[in-house]
Structure 1
Amino acid sequence: MLEIKDLHVSYGGIRALRGVSLEVPDGKIVTLIGANGAGKSTLLRTITGLVKAESGSIRWDGKELRGKSIDRIIGEGIAMSPEGRRVFTDLTVLENLKMGAYLRRDKAEIELDVNWVYELFPRLKERSWQLAGTLSGGEQQMLAVGRALMSRPKLMMLDEPSLGLAPLVVQDIFSIIREINRQGVTVLLIEQNANMALKIADLAYVLETGNITLSGTGAELLANESVKEAYLGKRR
């Protein structure tokens, strides 16, 4: 389980996170919704060590992550697919996937995991020798998720996986998120498409200006009138 308690993060005097506390239970899909600038991406970047917290605790399976190096955090079984995909455009699909396994030394198992990713994303297998920069936006998103999976994570964090994608591609991405979870990977999902995210979430949180203001099951937040008004495009 990932346990975050009273986490405070500041950027140049601006408080990005103001005492955030939440839990991500093993084997569940947990989603975090909120407006742009609420601090969602900052939270993920702090968990992975890219951003340093001022105070608070980030515990994973009982171990404190705060202050650990990025490679140590990855080694603990945490991976992130970042906002904007960030694929290596001048490398092939296969080379990108193998970059996700750069901390691993088990070559035979790496090959098995490449094939696992290809089973999840058949389109990537078809384009394995294509340069990542020539893929469509949806294909690049699949590659970013597949690359993160190559570290064999216990916890997969996804930052805006549907951003800028066509509706049919978004459906595919969310189907894959469900399948990844069914295969034993815990998921922490940040997503602007609150309707889709809440439908697949076991547990959900609302983050507003650096504070958790609401939590519950995905179904509970879908039915919440304030959530409907603020994030689902519905009016009372």
Structure 2
Amino acid sequence: MLKLENLSVYYGGIHALRGIDIEVEDGKIITLIGANGAGKSTMLNSIVGLIKSSSGKILWNGADITGRDTKDIVSMGLVLIPEGRRVFPNLTVEENLRLGAYARSDKMGIKKDRDRCYTLFPRLKERSHQHAGTLSGGEQQMLAVARGLMSSPKLLMLDEPSLGLAPLVSRMIFEIVREINKNGTTVLLIEQNAHAALEIADYAYVLETGVITMQDTGAALLNNEGIKKAYLGEG
């Protein structure tokens, strides 16, 4: 589905990604863990064309999309939910969801996806006419995910969805990510909460200062002594 081949990126004079090779298989949850500054967000921004790579390839279903415009990449079904939620605070929940479907013209499909979002996030339905800026942090994260789903993604990329959330809300977000995947959407998840991310991952990569240092199934990395010591606060 998605492949990064020897991808290198310079960002602000820093060699942020150094020859990255990653594969995201159709129907899977793939997780990337790593410390702050490891290059995780840079990788996602490179995939959707917000940051240009200096070398290497980004392949989507076999087609080279390296250097393509962001709007073209989104129209192919690659959708990024950025770190920090970035909802439109002066618009209602309903208006934010409609903006998520701005590139679509299938009215029945849009309505179906909106109803699905309200089923996944009942709290958003209760607040559908409320301005997004008045929502709690957890509710804004739910809205950010729901808005991403409104574009009918084939690959949903999430950048630190649990950042700044209470543990209970964070757990709910991960459960919803799992549910989204069960409904047929492939997920690429960037997370500092390594334990929660590895628990739901089919496969995972460890990124350290722009280099992939380890990769395995989520379950295997959860039980890896080095990972336990470096990322899980164990050992």
TM (norm. structure 1) is: 0.98
Q: CA deviation at 1:234?
A: 1.1
> Secondary structure of 2:184's match?
coil
Q: Give the equivalent residue in structure 2 for 1:43.
A: 43
> Secondary structure of 1:205's match?
strand
- Separation in structure 2 between the aligned mates of residue 41 and residue 11 of structure 1, nearest angstrom: 11
Q: Give the equivalent residue in structure 2 for 1:28.
A: 28
The amino acid that maps onto 1:205 is: Y
1:1-236 alignment, distance < 5 Å: 1-235=1-235
- Separation in structure 2 between the aligned mates of residue 144 and residue 216 of structure 1, nearest angstrom: 29
> Secondary structure of 1:114's match?
helix
Runs of 4+ in 1 over 4 A off after TM superposition: none
- Separation in structure 2 between the aligned mates of residue 48 and residue 226 of structure 1, nearest angstrom: 32
> Secondary structure of 1:143's match?
helix
- Separation in structure 2 between the aligned mates of residue 192 and residue 68 of structure 1, nearest angstrom: 29
> Secondary structure of 1:129's match?
coil
TM (norm. structure 2) is: 0.99
Q: CA deviation at 1:106?
A: 1.3
- Separation in structure 1 between the aligned mates of residue 108 and residue 215 of structure 2, nearest angstrom: 42
- Separation in structure 2 between the aligned mates of residue 181 and residue 135 of structure 1, nearest angstrom: 26
- Separation in structure 2 between the aligned mates of residue 12 and residue 138 of structure 1, nearest angstrom: 31
Q: Which moved more, 1:63-72 or 1:190-199?
A: 63-72
Q: CA deviation at 1:79?
A: 0.6
TM-superposition CA deviations, 1:176-213 (whole Å, max 9, x none): 00000000000000011000000000000000000000
- Separation in structure 2 between the aligned mates of residue 89 and residue 207 of structure 1, nearest angstrom: 33
Q: CA deviation at 1:105?
A: 1.1
The amino acid that maps onto 1:187 is: V
- Separation in structure 2 between the aligned mates of residue 165 and residue 124 of structure 1, nearest angstrom: 17
* RMSD of aligned alpha carbons: 0.6
- Separation in structure 2 between the aligned mates of residue 195 and residue 147 of structure 1, nearest angstrom: 26
- Separation in structure 2 between the aligned mates of residue 158 and residue 13 of structure 1, nearest angstrom: 25
The total of aligned residue pairs comes to 235
Seq. identity, %: 65
